[in-house]
Structure formats: C-alpha cells, structure tokens
C-alpha cells in the first residue's frame, strides 16, 4: 500500500481515534488522484481499462474468490456492475458509524434485504424472524422463500423471552436454523426486539446443528445514530434502506448491508449476479448525505419528542408508540436502554375513530406531507394499513398490534412550533 493510500484510510491522528462524523468527510478518497477535487467526482463509465491482461485475469479471479497467492493486491477495476470508485468510497464510509468490518451498497433497501437473505438460503433450512417486519420483507420470508424449500417461523417482536425461546425450539424441530432475521424497532408499531437474546439463542442453537445461524437486523427505523447492533450486540449483519435516514433527503433509492467480512463476502458474489448495485450518481448523493447524517438525525429526534409529547396529551389520540415513553422498570425499557442510543424520530400513534378519523387528519395536513417513506428532512405521515403494509393480511396486522387508526409519523427538521400548529389544526378536523 502506498503512502498516499495509507493517508486516506487513516482513522486516527496519532493516538487519537477519529469519530465517524469526522471520518465521513474524506475517508477512502484521495483528492490527488482526482485532480485535487475536494469531493469525489462521479465516475460515469460502464467499463474500465485494465493495466495489463494479467491485471484483468487477476481481477476476475478475485471477484470469484479464487485469487492466487502471487496475484497483485489491487488488480484495478473492471465493470461498474461489480465495483467502481464511487461505490468503493461509499462502502468504505458505510462501515464507520456502524463499526462494521465491510459493507455493500445496493440499488434499494429491498435489494439489500432479499440479496442477503438469499445468500444463506438452503432447501429445508429454517429462517426465524420477528414480526411485524416491513411489509414486503415479511411477505418475502413468509410466501416467497418457502417456494424454494426454505422454511420460516416467526415470533412477536415484543414477545417475552420464553416465547422467543419456544419459537427457536419449534424451528429446530423443522430443520437447521440458518438465519435469524429481525427488525427493531418494528415498522410501524415500534415494538422492540431483544438482539442480545437473539445472539444468545443463535449461539445455543449452533451447539446442536452443523451451522451457526447468521443474525441479521434491519436497522432502518433507527439508523446508525440511534442504534449500532454490530457494536452493542455483536450481531453479524445490519441492513438498511439507505433511502431513509442515511440518504435523508427523499431524492434517492438505495440499500446497504454492513457487517462481518465473512458474511459480507458471501453476499457480495450474489449481488454481482443479481446486479443490485446503485449507480455512481446515487453513490455520490449518499456520500453527500453521510456528511450531515448526525446533525439531521439528532435535530429530527428533538422535534420528535416535542411532537410525541403533544400527541400524548391530545384527547383525540388513544396511543402514542414513541420509544421515549417506555415505562421505567419494564422489560421493554430495559432492552431499549441496553441496545438503543436514541428514541429516534419515527413513531406511530393511534387516532380515535379508526381509519375514517385517521384519513380526515391526514387529508387536513398543511405542512407535514402525506407520503410513504421515512427519515427525510421533511416530516411525513402515512396510514400503513392501507399503504406500505396493505399487503399484510388484515388478521395478521391485527395480531401484530395494528389498529385502523394507526398513523406513522416520520418527524423532520422543520421548526418544531410549526409542526405543532399543523398537528393541532389537522386534529381539529377529526
């Protein structure tokens, strides 16, 4: 590695380790390799010229995981579907906040989730997952994977320890458990999953079968500022819809998988086959967004608490599912304190009067936008039961704790008082 390469991959000044919010300003990029540009240019090319035929052969051996001991360490680039400079810089920086060994970027959050799940799919093996999940993810596990002989079984996201243990025991009778997949907090109910318990049960399961289950968590609802499961719980993989908090401006679609080098390596080859990579332009936009991630998320979290407190005291609201309101001394609060860094800025609340009342409120919004998605700079509301989670059977939604009046609220970085005025006038219409 050259001295130039060492300089832009350094994570400390002397003995002082640099924080992620500092590293994302330049980590993985050498301006002197791009005419001194302070920001990486967009490498708008589909293919790259090899230095030699030997470099080309070495590159493709490396891409298949078949490199030779005497191959050059860096054979260069070949084709943008496999990798490109913008993608490499982004993946270097995606490891910073979560503390991952390696990372992969994808063309969407579902691209990341489905590619990761398929990378470990074997006939007659079992996936254990928490419920509810993001609607398409739950349908992928429940309806799609079984077509290929992959079994699945779920436990409620906020289930007590004995229920989760019983689910693992039932799963083990179905076959070898290969994946434990959770989403915490759950979308849209904000139910908390005990990641430490999942890791404990995965370890115990490994003693009675030939493989150790890979533990994955969709961390989209909190983002790496609100929760770092790789660090706090030691899980194998975190998954993101980068579209949400990491992208944060509602102007891109992308996903990410971050975790151990061993797990990422297995997913990487499948991503190449599926072609689920983001474009160089999208990578560039995410690099821009990472620089303000901490500022945006922290400001939105402040606004969320103010809005949640207003809604909690409003007579037309029956329940506010905000993590900052977990009861002291409860098991949920203990799990939250152990695994989370923040209450976040996306939560749900239930309007009295069901769907009709919820729709009246949503249709009366003036500042807050009526739209799906979350984690953007602007505040968004939607009715999950009729939109993002409408593909989940009604009986299942009811079992997961939905009500017809449930609204998901992604709080942005507007002026907090302005948000309260909009909430008040919208509720006046209910």
Ranges of beta strands (E only) in 49-202 are 102-106, 126-131, 151-156, 177-183
**At a CB cut-off of 8 Å and minimum separation 6, what does 307 contact?**
409, 411, 416, 419, 420, 423
Instruction: Select the more confidently predicted residue: 67 or 257.
Output: 257
- What pLDDT was estimated at residue 4? 42
* The pLDDT value given to residue 363: 98
> What are the domain boundaries of the chain?
3-63, 85-290, 293-428
Q: Lowest mean pLDDT: which of 116-125, 318-327, 401-410? A: 401-410
Q: How confident is the model at residue 268 (pLDDT cuts 50, 70, 90)?
A: very high
Both tokens of 6, joined, read 């060492």
Q: Is the pLDDT of residue 49 over 80?
A: yes
The pLDDT of residue 296 is 98
Residue pair 399/392 in contact by the 8 Å Cβ criterion: no
- Span 367-392, average pLDDT: 92
Q: Coil, helix or strand for 246?
A: coil
What pLDDT was estimated at residue 6? 61
Mapped onto helix, strand or coil, the DSSP state of residue 266 is: helix
Instruction: Please compute the mean of the pLDDT values over residues 25-51 and round it to a whole number.
Output: 94
Pairing of strands 406-410, 380-382: antiparallel
Q: Which residues contact 163 (CB under 8 A, 6 or more apart)?
A: 155, 156
Gyration radius of the chain over CA positions: 22
Q: Choose among 151, 171, 296, 329: nearest CA to 223.
A: 296
- Cα distances from 422 to residues 118, 215, 261, 366, in angstroms, run 44, 41, 47, 6
Name the burial class of residue 18, with classes exposed (0-12), middle (13-18) and buried (19+) by CB atoms within 10 angstroms of its CB: middle
Of 174, 227, 233, nearest to 202 by C-alpha is 233
Pairing state between β 214-218 and 151-156: unpaired
Instruction: Give CA–CA dist 107/283, Å, rounded.
Output: 10
CATH topology of domain 85-290: 3.40.640
- Cα–Cα distance measured from residue 65 to residue 209, given in angstroms and rounded to the nearest whole number: 27
**pLDDT given at position 63:** 76
pLDDT tens-digit series, residues 383-417 = 998 988 887 788 878 777 888 999 999 999 999 99
Task: Measure the CA–CA gap between 76 and 264, rounded to whole angstroms.
Answer: 20
The CATH class that applies to domain 293-428 reads alpha beta
The CA distances from residue 382 to 205, 261, 318, 354, in Å, are: 39, 37, 17, 14
Is the per-residue pLDDT at 5 higher than 50?
Answer: no
Distance CA 288, CA 238 (A): 21
Strands (E), 174-279: 177-183, 214-218, 237-241, 255-259
SS3 state at 384: helix
Coil vs helix vs strand at 331: helix
- Who wins on pLDDT, 221 or 64? 221
| 3-state SS, residue 348 | strand
Burial class (CB in 10 A: 0-12, 13-18, 19+), 124: exposed
Q: Cβ contacts of residue 426 below 8 Å, gap of 6+?
A: 361, 362, 364, 365, 366, 368
Of the candidates 246, 9, 231, 224, the one whose C-alpha atom is nearest the C-alpha of residue 105 is 246
pLDDT at 66: 84
Q: Which of 53-67, 91-105, 116-130, 228-242 is the least confident region?
A: 53-67
Tokens encoding 101: 């060994």
How far apart CA 348 and CA 324 sit, in angstroms, is 12
Diameter of the chain measured on Cα atoms? 73
Summarised one tens digit per residue, pLDDT across range 171-224 is: 999 999 999 999 999 988 999 999 999 999 999 999 999 999 999 999 999 999
Give the model confidence (pLDDT) of 334-351 as tens digits.
Answer: 999 999 999 999 999 999
């Amino acid at each position: 590695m050259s001295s130039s390469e060492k300089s832009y991959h350094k994570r400390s000044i002397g003995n002082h380790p640099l924080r992620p919010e500092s590293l994302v300003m330049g980590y993985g990029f050498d301006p002197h390799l791009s005419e001194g540009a302070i920001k990486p240019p967009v490498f708008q090319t589909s293919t790259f010229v090899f230095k030699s035929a030997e470099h080309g052969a070495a590159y493709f051996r490396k891409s298949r995981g078949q490199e030779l001991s005497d191959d050059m360490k860096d054979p260069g680039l070949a084709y943008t579907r496999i990798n490109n400079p913008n993608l490499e810089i982004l993946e270097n920086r995606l490891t910073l906040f979560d503390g991952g060994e390696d990372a992969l970027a994808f063309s969407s959050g579902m691209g990341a989730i489905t590619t990761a799940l398929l990378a470990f799919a074997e006939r007659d093996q079992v996936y254990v997952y928490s419920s509810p999940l993001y609607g398409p993810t739950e349908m992928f596990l429940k309806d799609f994977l079984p077509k290929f002989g992959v079994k699945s079984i779920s436990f409620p996201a906020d289930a007590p320890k004995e229920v989760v243990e019983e689910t693992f025991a039932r799963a083990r009778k179905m076959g070898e458990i290969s994946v434990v997949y959770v989403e915490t907090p759950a979308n849209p109910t904000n139910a908390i999953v005990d990641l430490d318990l999942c890791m404990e049960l995965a370890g115990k399961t490994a003693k009675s079968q030939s493989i150790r289950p890979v533990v994955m968590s969709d961390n989209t609802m909190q983002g790496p500022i609100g929760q770092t499961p790789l660090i706090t719980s030691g899980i194998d993989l975190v998954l993101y819809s980068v579209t949400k908090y990491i992208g944060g401006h509602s102007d891109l679609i992308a996903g990410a998988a971050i975790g151990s080098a061993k797990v990422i390596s297995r997913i990487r080859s499948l991503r190449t086959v599926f072609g689920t990579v983001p474009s160089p332009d999208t990578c560039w936009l995410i690099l821009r967004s990472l620089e303000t991630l901490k500022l945006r998320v922290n400001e939105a979290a402040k606004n969320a608490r103010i809005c949640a407190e207003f809604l909690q005291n409003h007579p037309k609201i029956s329940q506010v599912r905000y993590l900052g309101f977990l009861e002291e001394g409860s098991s949920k609060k203990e799990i939250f304190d152990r695994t989370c860094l923040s209450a976040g800025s996306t939560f749900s609340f239930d309007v009295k009067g069901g769907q009709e009342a919820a729709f009246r409120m949503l249709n009366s919004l003036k500042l807050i936008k009526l739209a799906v998605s979350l984690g953007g700079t602007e505040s968004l509301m939607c009715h999950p039961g009729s939109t993002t989670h409408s593909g989940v059977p009604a009986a299942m939604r009811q079992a997961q704790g939905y009500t017809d009046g449930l609204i998901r609220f992604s709080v942005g970085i507007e002026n907090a008082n302005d948000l309260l005025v909009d909430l008040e006038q919208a509720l006046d219409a209910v």
